[in-house]
Amino acid sequence: MLNSQVMDVQPRRRLTRAEAKARTRTLLLDAAAEVFARKGFAGASVEEIAETAGFSIGAFYSNFANKDELFVELLSTHSRNQIAESARLMDERAEGKRGLGQQLINAADEDFPLLEAEFWLYSVRNPQVATALAERMREPREALKTLVGEALRRLDPPVIDIDVPVSVVVASLFAGLVRQRRIDPDSVPAELYDQALHWLFAGIAAERAQPQG
Amino acid sequence: MLNSQVMDVQPRRRLTRAEAKARTRTLLLDAAAEVFARKGFAGASVEEIAETAGFSIGAFYSNFANKDELFVELLSTHSRNQIAESARLMDERAEGKRGLGQQLINAADEDFPLLEAEFWLYSVRNPQVATALAERMREPREALKTLVGEALRRLDPPVIDIDVPVSVVVASLFAGLVRQRRIDPDSVPAELYDQALHWLFAGIAAERAQPQG
DNA sequence: GTCTATACGTCGATAGAC
DNA sequence: GTCTATCGACGTATAGAC
């Protein structure tokens, strides 16, 4: 699921050695994402990951040094996909608030939030991983910042010199709502995210139009 | 830490059998909260929990059926503390937006966010636990809803008939910002939460003052 | 009620065959 | 490159002494 977009898992011609190994890696990463989401990092065994991918333990260890290395690789792939998602959003619509509600609904139904929680915990518990992750998250964060910046410039009156990280608020709100919806869908209606963003931007615009203490 | 407020761990007179056992339970729960935060649910061993509390494995199993039971109890205690926190906030100040920034900073430095992430994952993976947790979270959620309702009524013009769960937005934003600050403190300035709430409420007020499509 | 000792299973990782 | 077999470490849970 997570990695199959990088490489076709069912190519038509015979595979070279390198291609076959890369395919095994990809399948192991996909399987790991699923098992980690279901069992958690510590709860997932190398054996289950390997068997889910259709391989043996030996195949696993010929592709990864250990479970940690695979997890970090999964983590970076995850970040890369976040970049792609942000970029896609920016390309399709630069309006900043349209169709985001649906994205929330979709996100809450996937394994992603589980993996993200797992990644977050792993990062907090392994500071050296946290710095590496922060490094990789810089690009998607900048992309979101640009997107939010454009939305602010489109306000009436335009806001161009704001020094508060509104994009961080947006990202945090999204992540928080996704988690809440996962455990209690009824408490997070489909339009809630859109509505909250609308208010947030309206509040910023109102403050600029008529500054108050 | 988490449970010691319920019972004095160093009473002055001699303990009865029941009191001694209850004290052991409490100490085991405190230790478990710490170890779960550090190692995660699956990663925490019963042995480490028991030893952190100053007891043996046998003492653990004479107080809890297994690790799961202790975890669920910890979960409910956690929810109860959330209620207390919400209530305290409501009593001290009904302003809805004052001093909340500091609460964010404090929360990000504690073990709480780690435990919450662990609890969330556990709930998502164990649906029967999720429903029980949702039940226990109803009271603090209602408390927050009341608090936010009062803040809305204090707006100009007052908002009294809103059918959007603003309190869910507030809670989700808080949780999201706490997590973000934990892995990258610089990205979440101390005033960000207060500022975001200010904008959110200003946006709601602006919409009511001058409805727009 | 709590401790020590231990049975039993599972997991991570390795070695050697193919 | 991948598989099977296996080792050593560790974890849960129990049994019986005190």
* Shortest CA to C1' contact from B28: nucleotide: C2
Whole-angstrom Cα distance, residue B32 to residue B50?
Answer: 8
When scoring A199, A207, A208, A210 by the number of chain B Cβ atoms within 10 A, the one with the most, hence best to mutate, is: A199
The CA-based angle A175-A177-A178, given to 5 degrees, is 65
- B78-100 confidence digits (pLDDT tens): 888 888 888 887 777 655 555 67
Residue with tokens 């970049």: A83
pLDDT tens track of chain A, all 213 residues?
555 544 445 554 567 778 888 899 999 999 999 999 999 999 999 999 999 999 999 999 999 999 999 999 999 888 888 888 888 877 776 555 556 778 888 888 899 999 999 999 999 999 888 888 888 888 888 888 988 999 999 998 999 989 999 999 999 999 999 999 999 999 999 999 999 999 999 999 998 887 654
* Cα four-point dihedral sign B114, B119, B120, B121: positive
User: Phi/psi of residue B66, each to 5°?
Assistant: -165, -175
How many C-beta atoms lie closer than 10 Å to residue B58's C-beta? 9
**Alpha helices in chain B, H assignment, sequence order:** 17-39, 46-53, 57-63, 67-92, 100-109, 112-125, 127-153, 166-183, 192-209
* Shortest CA to C1' contact from A55: nucleotide: D2
**Tokens standing for residue B27:** 């100490």
From its phi and psi, is residue A96 left (phi > 0), alpha (psi between -120 and 50) or beta?
left
A102 beta carbon to strand C: under 7 Å: no
With a CB cutoff of 8 Å and minimum separation 6, the contacts of B200 are A196, A199, A200, A203, B166, B169, B170
**pLDDT for the residue numbered B108:** 84
Q: Are B140 and B86 in contact (CB under 8 A)?
A: yes
Q: How far is the CA of B46 from the C1' of D13 (A)?
A: 10
- Measured CA to CA in angstroms, residue A44 lies from A19, B32, B66, B96, B109 at distances of 27, 21, 20, 43, 29
pLDDT tens track of chain B, all 213 residues?
555 544 445 555 667 878 888 899 999 999 999 999 999 999 999 999 999 999 999 999 999 999 999 999 999 998 888 888 888 877 776 555 556 778 888 888 899 999 999 999 999 999 888 888 888 888 888 888 988 999 999 998 999 989 999 999 999 999 999 999 999 999 999 999 999 999 999 999 998 887 654
B42 beta carbon to strand C: under 7 Å: no
Whole-angstrom Cα distance, residue A87 to residue B53?
Answer: 49
* Cα four-point dihedral sign A89, A95, A97, A101: negative
With a CB cutoff of 8 Å and minimum separation 6, the contacts of B70 are B28, B29, B32, B49, B60, B64
pTM: 0.90
**pLDDT for the residue numbered B74:** 95
Q: Answer whether A173 sits within 8 Å of B174, measured CB to CB.
A: no
Q: Answer whether B169 sits within 8 Å of A196, measured CB to CB.
A: yes
With beta carbons under 8 A apart, name residues in chain A contacting B38.
125
Which residues 95-154 of A are in CB contact (within 8 Å) with B?
113-114, 117-118, 120-121, 123-125, 130, 133-134, 141
When scoring A184, A191, A208 by the number of chain B Cβ atoms within 10 A, the one with the most, hence best to mutate, is: A184
The closest alpha carbon to B115, from B133, B94, B91, belongs to B133
- Measured CA to CA in angstroms, residue A50 lies from A33, A65, B125 at distances of 12, 14, 21
